[in-house]
């Protein structure tokens, strides 16, 4: 394909490994209730779903269930206090970012994480800047897989959706990309979730590592 005008990335599970702090928050809540913590390996696949995924894995509750809203609010308040305790960039993400900067290829971040959490996370880990835009889960009236957040990022970057690529580690990311009218590349190094196998995502490409993004673009 021709080199895109810009790249858009998911945050958790694509650029940053936040599962240790997301899972740690869920386990703190369990321990506070006298319950056994859940192994991080069992929580990790749910990292891309944030509070919803962690509450589901740790407490077996989903949105709409009695008690879910209170647990979600507690989770978010606790998570904010340990946002960067163990969270870090995935291996090779810094090399990816450096390569995009050298090539002067603009990129942005589109996440379902609330801006109040996403902005300090991205800033502290050195992602914004250089990321030219960050769209959070509360930046538009809709969250992924709705295309609105991706369209908002395109408007901020001044590029057409068809000239962008969205890269993420969840099937919702690929659905959002298709709905927005842009290619979607699956980040196979990420959390991936448990709901749908990777081959069912209908991704335009499956990349095994962050540096594979640069290779696909002819930048490495």
Q: Where in the sequence numbering do the catalytic residues fall?
A: 10
Return all residues near 149 (Cβ < 8 A) that are at least 6 apart: 110, 112, 135, 137, 139, 140, 142, 143, 176
CA distance readout (Å), 208 to 91, 103, 187: 12, 21, 7
The dihedral built from the CA positions of residue 104, 125, 90 and 143, taken in this order, carries a sign that is negative
Radius of gyration of the chain (CA): 17
| 217: preceding bond cis by omega (within 30 degrees) | no
């Amino acid at each position: 394909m021709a080199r895109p005008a810009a790249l858009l990335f998911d945050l958790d599970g694509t650029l940053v490994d936040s599962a240790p702090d997301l899972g740690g928050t869920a386990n703190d809540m369990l321990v506070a209730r006298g319950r056994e913590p859940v192994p991080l390996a069992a929580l990790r696949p749910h990292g891309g779903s944030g509070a919803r995924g962690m509450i589901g894995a740790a407490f077996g509750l989903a949105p709409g269930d009695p008690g879910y809203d209170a647990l979600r609010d507690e989770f978010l308040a606790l998570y904010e206090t340990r946002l960067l305790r163990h969270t870090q960039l995935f291996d090779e993400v810094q090399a990816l970012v450096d390569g995009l900067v050298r090539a002067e290829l603009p990129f942005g971040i589109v996440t379902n994480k609330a801006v109040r959490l996403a902005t300090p996370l991205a800033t502290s880990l050195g992602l914004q800047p250089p990321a030219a835009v960050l769209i959070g889960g509360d930046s538009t009236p809709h969250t992924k897989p709705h295309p609105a957040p991706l369209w908002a990022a395109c408007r901020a970057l001044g590029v057409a959706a068809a000239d962008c690529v969205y890269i993420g580690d969840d099937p919702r990311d690929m659905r959002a990309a298709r709905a927005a009218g842009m290619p979607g590349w699956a980040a196979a190094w990420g959390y991936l979730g448990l709901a749908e196998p990777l081959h069912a995502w209908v991704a335009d490409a499956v990349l095994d590592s962050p540096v594979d993004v640069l290779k696909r673009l002819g930048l490495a």
